[in-house]
Copies of this chain bind each other. A is one copy, B any other.
Amino acid sequence: MDLKPLREEVLEANLALVRRGLVIFTFGNASGYDAASGRVVIKPSGVPYDKLTPADLVMTDLKGNLLAGSTLRPSSDLPTHLALYQAFPGVHGVVHTHSRYATSWAQAGVEIPCLGTTHADYFPGPIPVTPALTAHEIQTEYEWNTGQVIIKRFKGIDPLKTPAVLVNGHAPFFWGASVTDAAHTAEIVEELAHMAFVTVTIKADAGRLPDVLRDKHFLRKHGPASYYGQDLPVKP
């Protein structure tokens, strides 16, 4: 089983991150998960994007065991991806970038507040920041523990509605029903992070969007009462 379509989708997501300016050099990675076969396809570690082919992508099982045909080492962040696939049912794509504005919020250790309807169109609240990892979490199975810190932070938060996190002092991770969705979210969040930077620079204590307006925007695009796009009949 070669999962050719998934390999192609994962490759395309990795390349889209570069084209959109979210990744420079080898600062990022994207993976996809095929639930039926239990297989994960991920970018190899430290290989320049312009040389990547679908065959270079690394295939593992959900525990990170390399599967036949993989000739390169997987991204060193693989254990974080695996932790998210194991903990978040319905997630089939994970993306990690060091994009400039989202990473700056992560470095500041501050969640990206929901300051306007652009944000609320995509997220029902702030984009959370994790606590810092402990020295022990860093020194033992660092990448796996990065995933665990994210999972703990999402206790009580639906990861399918809030498909992004800032790892404290590090950078963002994104996920979604597919790796294409996760890469799209990466681009949206970078724009939200940039706007939030400008907003708090203009007014340090810019107010959070009122809950009622936040919910209005999130729900007009998401869920059973949504009325955005072309899914409803033209004349209801």
Measuring CB to CB, which residues of chain A are less than 8 angstroms from any residue of chain B?
24-25, 27, 44-47, 66, 70-73, 76, 98, 100-101, 103-110, 115-118, 132-133, 135, 138-139, 142, 169-171, 187-188, 191, 194-203, 206-207, 209-210, 212-213, 216, 220, 227-230, 232, 234-235
Contacts and interface: CB of A to CB of B under 8 A. Distances in A.
B229 A108 contact: no
A171 B118 contact: yes
A110 B234 contact: no
A107 B199 contact: yes
Per CB-CB distance, the 9 closest pairs between chain A and chain B, nearest first, are A46-B229, A104-B198, A107-B116, A108-B203, A107-B199, A107-B115, A108-B202, A104-B199, A117-B170
22 contacts: A24-B187, A27-B118, A46-B228, A47-B230, A73-B232, A76-B220, A100-B195, A103-B116, A104-B199, A104-B202, A105-B202, A106-B116, A107-B196, A108-B199, A109-B203, A109-B206, A117-B169, A117-B171, A132-B210, A169-B209, A169-B213, A201-B201
Contact of A118 (B98, B197, B199): B98
Contacts of A116: 103, 106-107, 169-171
Contacts of A46: 228-230
B212 A135 contact: yes
A202 B207 contact: no
A129 to B, nearest CB: 11
Contact of A197 (B47, B103, B198, B234): B198
Contacts of A98: 118
